[in-house]
Every structure is written in structure tokens, then in C-alpha cells.
Structure 1
């Protein structure tokens, strides 16, 4: 987050060149009340808050506003609204300036910033997204020619004795590798970090193993995962080389390679049944049932779309 401030990313996103860091850390919420919808009863509930703990990752004040930033270094499908709402209520009660809730996610060398607004300050469920932007400190210009070059140069590897991936979000696979780059993690650590159940944690860890980026250690008491030398090498690269290195790790597997080739021939993604037919010719490990092929095909298509989405 300090880098996002020092580099001018926050100033650009908030359209305020006079930002200064002013508040952060833990503090008391003081006293306020709000309404929240009870999903089970489909009715509003009144909640009173008194001196609850609030933690602000970063508060940046400009001429017109105070931006309160909640920062994360992992990809998640959602977040706890409380992390934005309680700081928002605390500071709207203290100052007359506009208070702007901002959610920042840093993953795979990209800053993702989301500005939110509570339409009704006393309504917990009134949160709406105002805008969303991506930022990078490095050039991100990857062309289709660069992707085609990786495709043609990829050296196919034998299918490993590891389950074919069932992990549709490749962004999360990369983010998991970034987490492991900080040190080995247990299955429980991964589950906790991403709010996964153990099966989901296993799916994503095995997806990274399938690509040769992660190794698994089972000592009989607990299962842990860590990066391979190749995983560490790829994560040490600059943005463009890292993305193309990850694309190469995918395209070294025949099923992915052939589906991308077909996409380039057709100008669109092959139909699911055609993808499944390709998979059946690739000697995939422990994929037998037709329904399993179709579930895993969703991941294959998603990963190929991730590669194509690298184009800027």
C-alpha cells in the first residue's frame, strides 16, 4: 500500500493530487447504530455498536475527501463489508469531508482498486461499486504474437500422476504461488487464507502442482506445500516474462496446447464437447467419468482464456 501511495497510484485513482497519509492502525469504533437485512427473515434488523475494534490499513486525506483503504494481497470472491463499513461510520461521524471506502488487492504484480459508496450511511447493505481500475508499475504490453510464440515453442511434457486441474480461477492459482513464495504452507493455512474448505484448498494446490510450480509434502501428520525451483524462478521474473512463463507452464500440457491452437484456427473458443474430445486423447490422470471430463473442461477453457486475456 505504501508503494501504491508513493507511486501516485492512489492519487490517480482518487483524482486527488494532494493526498497525505493521516490515519491507520487499530482504534475504537465509538458508538453508532445501523440497519442490516436479515436474509432468513427477509427483514431489517437494528444493530447497536459500542467501542468495537476497527482496523484501518491506510487513510489518505486530500482536499475534498478522506480515503479509507482496506488492502489485501490475495484474490477472493468477496470480502466482509464490515471491513469497510465500520471505519466509514467512525470517520463520517468525526469529519465533514467526504469519506471514501477503497478496497485494494495486489496480486500478480497488478494493483486492483475498487471505490465504493454507501448510498444510505445507516444501511449496511447499501454498498455499491463506484469504479474499478487496474494499475501496474511495469509495462504490461503482451501481444498475441508473443502468446503464439510461446505456444509454438512449448515442449510438451508427459501427463503427471497428479489430478487434472479443477480450479477455474487461474488468477487464484498464481496468487497461491505468491503466498507460497513467502514460505511453505499447510493445507489448513491455505484454507484459512482463502476461506476455502479443505477440498477447495486441495484443488488449487494440486493445480499448481500439475504445472510443476509447487511440491507437496505429506509426513503422515500434516500436508504442506512449497514452491519448486521452477516456481520460484517464474515468480522472480518481471511482469511480462512472468506471465509468459506461466503461460508456457500451461501450454506444455497437450490438452491446453491443442485447445489454444483450435481457438486460433476458429477465432473463438471450441465447444465444450470438442474440448472434452481433446482431453480424452491426452491420457489424463484419473479422469474417467464423462461428468468429470466436463467439469475439468471448464478449468481448461478458463485457463486458456486467462492466457488470451494477457493481451494488452
Structure 2
């Protein structure tokens, strides 16, 4: 099997099986794993936990995919993703909790979903959020879904009824307490939405196994903060009946940052970088709106160096986005590239690749607790003239700058070409917003 990109493999499948025409005329297209495997391994072709990670051909055609068994899938213009109500940087209230002192648990080094779940279950977070008493871990891992059917909404047509026969689902954590059974889906990267299948398939499986009510939690651990969201399905047989019940934020550390903390960073930081694109060895001006994703990437690179392709896979980016976020870290002096090797699962060989790692400054930041880490990142941002100028203006007026004013400043400082200004001005606005949101977080 020749090695090709996921998007190229799907383009070939669309061409060979006239998938777009079939979906348009019949409303759906059933495809076997063996058909997908003609071009690429199915496990690499049919699982995207966020809509932003979908191959471009599926995005452009408005087509999504669901597993119907261990060896078959169905394609249609499904609505499969649930938008999260806010990005995590918009939080303004969170609860600080204490965790017992255990030698094998390092709360400053929670870098995997498994570690995040372990700490979550050791802390009082779940008891506080659920209110159902003590919880006991009873199941997790991959398992068959059993047989069931359900309706799911589509973009242009009526809901479609899907039959599932022992498809595979993976449960990050399953708990039981006196009143309920709890299913947890855990993430350690922030995305704007999530695939509802991750909660619905486990829900349908365990709904037939237990008598207690089932509670469904979506947990995000990022930047040393837990965000818990509880969902329910108003109709057992309707995938699209998902509803958010409540959400809450928790921290294990001091997260209180005041306006005076930010002002002190500003006073001690000299704007030494003009970002003029004519400068020698110029780093591209930033184009990466979510600063929280920059922080997530710091945590991943703390564990291991990665190729851009690996970054794209872990962060569920396309390769172009991986480049943008590497450049964002390079812009701050915390990411760098070098030549290394990476094992390729498809070819079972070690290949020479360009890899990304933390610089010395990046390693220092990765080891910091929440408050000093945020303030050090603010310092690195304010070393750049355009951010330094707009920080003082925002601090003085209490209002974020208008996009038009940011664009004019970008022209003045000659930071990028005219065709890139609008898109990159959005990043400037987003990063300034992230800075000033830090002071609005309160702890219970």
C-alpha cells in the first residue's frame, strides 16, 4: 500500500465509488473497511474527534462518517459534532481543590489523558461536580457496542435511521456510585466541538447493561485546569438529541492573576522585537488564534519531540495548522526545529524527519506552575512591539482594540504582506483577549 495522505486517500475513494453522487441520490453510502484499506488503513481514515480535523474533501462536500460495525461505515451529510459553549480561556470562575499527597502523582506534570483521569478520580472534583457520593472506577477501554439503531440529523435531508452491529467504542473511564453509572470522555487538547459518537455509542452500550441512570461527562484538561461538562440525550434513540446540562471549572493550583500582576509584567518587559518582515531571518508573524492550543502544544512537547505530522495528529490539526502553531511558538522563542528520526507505523520503518522541540526557554516554562507560567508567556508576547503597544492601550482604556486599528498598526510596523493582514490581525486580537481574560478568573 503506497503511503498517501488521508485527504488524498479519501479523494481516491470518492472518485472510485462515486461517493458524492451516491450520497446525493440515495442519501447515504455504505463503505467496507476493506474498500478503505485499498488506499489507507481504516483506523487512520474514519476517526476525527473534532470537525476541524476532518479531511478537506469531507469538509468541502459536507459529508461525515459513522461506524456501523467493526468492518463497515456509513457516509452522509450527517450533523455529528456538538459545539462546545465556549473556549476554555473565557472562564471567569473556577473552584480550587486539594489532592492528597502521593509520591507517584505529580500534579505539575499531567500530560496525558490517562494521567488527567487518574488525578481527576483521586481529587474531590467528581464528588463535587456529580454530587452522588464516592465514585468507584469499574470499566474502561475498547469494547463492542452491541446492536442498536438510532436516528441522526442531516444537513439537507430528513434524519436517517442507522443500524449498528457491534461497532467498536472506546471509553476513557467508567465509574459507579450509589446513584448512577458515569461515563467519561477525556481530552487534553481544546477544540471548538467534539464528536457526539464518543458519548452516544458508550451510552447505548451501557444503557442495556445497568439499571442505574447513566451520567455522561466530557472532561477537558488543559493548561493545568479541568473543565467538566455534563450531557444527556433527551431521546434514547436520537443521536442528535444531545443537550448540555451543566459545566464547571476546577484547578489544583493558584490561578489568581490580578491586573497589577499584568501591569508589573508590562513594566518589566521592554519591546525589543519589531516584527518587521524585512529583518534578517525573520520569524513569520503569528497566525494561530487559540493561545490555549499553543499551551497544549507546550505540554505535549514537554513529553517528547514531534514531527509536524505527529503534531497535526495529536492536536487534530491539518498539516498547515501544525505549521502555524509551530511558528507561534517560534515567534515566542519556545519552539525550534531540528533533524531527527520518527517511526512510521504504516511502513514499519524509521524515517528521517524534521522534528519540533522545546527551546531552553520553552522547557523552563513547561515546568512552571499555572500562575508563573501564564505571566512568563505574557512577558514573551509583550516583547513584541505591536502587542506591547496594544497592551498599554487596552489596560488604560479597558477596551480591546478594534480589528481595523490592529490592521493599521500591522501595516505601520510592516509585519506581513497585505493579503495576510486581516487573518493575522485576528490572532493579535485573540492573544490580547487571552492576556486580559487572565485577570478575570476568580476562585471559589
Common fold: TM-score over 0.5: yes
1:218 Cα offset (Å): 5.6
The reply on whether 1:15 has 2:144 as its aligned counterpart is no
Match of 1:131 among 223, 231, 246: 246
Give CA-to-partner distance per residue, 1:102-161, whole Å, 9 cap, x none. 111111101111111111111111111111111110111110100111111113233371
User: How many residue pairs end up in the alignment?
Assistant: 308
1:190 Cα offset (Å): 1.5
The CA distance in 2 between the partners of 1:223 and 1:283, in whole Å, is 30
The reply on whether 1:77 has 2:198 as its aligned counterpart is no
The CA distance in 1 between the partners of 2:420 and 2:215, in whole Å, is 45
The CA distance in 1 between the partners of 2:187 and 2:287, in whole Å, is 25
Q: Secondary structure at the match of 1:35?
A: strand
The reply on whether 1:288 has 2:417 as its aligned counterpart is yes
The reply on whether 1:305 has 2:421 as its aligned counterpart is no
The CA distance in 2 between the partners of 1:233 and 1:65, in whole Å, is 43
Comparing 226-235 with 211-220, greater Cα deviation is found at 211-220
**Counterpart residue number, 1:153:** 268
Report matched runs for 1:1-312 at 5 Å.
1-39=117-155, 41-158=156-273, 159=275, 161-217=282-338, 222-284=353-415, 287-289=416-418, 291-311=419-439, 312=441
* Aligned-residue RMSD, C-alpha: 1.7
Comparing 271-280 with 140-149, greater Cα deviation is found at 271-280
Structure 1: state its 5+ residue gaps: none
Comparing 73-82 with 227-236, greater Cα deviation is found at 73-82
**Counterpart residue number, 2:79:** none
1:221 Cα offset (Å): 5.9
Contact 1:209 1:216 in 2 (8 A): no
Give CA-to-partner distance per residue, 1:26-77, whole Å, 9 cap, x none. 22211111111233x4212111112222221111212221110011111122
1:277 Cα offset (Å): 2.7
The CA distance in 2 between the partners of 1:37 and 1:128, in whole Å, is 14
Distance 1:70 1:8, change over 3 A: same
The CA distance in 1 between the partners of 2:225 and 2:283, in whole Å, is 30
Q: Secondary structure at the match of 1:310?
A: helix
The CA distance in 1 between the partners of 2:320 and 2:272, in whole Å, is 27
1:204 Cα offset (Å): 1.0
The CA distance in 2 between the partners of 1:163 and 1:58, in whole Å, is 41
Contact 1:154 1:248 in 2 (8 A): yes
Structure 2: state its 5+ residue gaps: 1-116, 276-280, 341-350
1:281 Cα offset (Å): 3.5
The CA distance in 2 between the partners of 1:83 and 1:48, in whole Å, is 17
The CA distance in 2 between the partners of 1:198 and 1:27, in whole Å, is 31
The CA distance in 2 between the partners of 1:184 and 1:236, in whole Å, is 16
Comparing 41-50 with 135-144, greater Cα deviation is found at 41-50
1:247 Cα offset (Å): 0.9
1:294 Cα offset (Å): 2.3
Comparing 29-38 with 139-148, greater Cα deviation is found at 29-38
Contact 1:258 1:278 in 2 (8 A): no
Contact 1:151 1:257 in 2 (8 A): yes
Contact 1:73 1:107 in 2 (8 A): yes
TM-score in terms of structure 2 length: 0.67
Q: Secondary structure at the match of 2:240?
A: coil
Q: Secondary structure at the match of 1:150?
A: helix
The CA distance in 2 between the partners of 1:26 and 1:140, in whole Å, is 36
TM-score in terms of structure 1 length: 0.94
The CA distance in 2 between the partners of 1:174 and 1:157, in whole Å, is 23
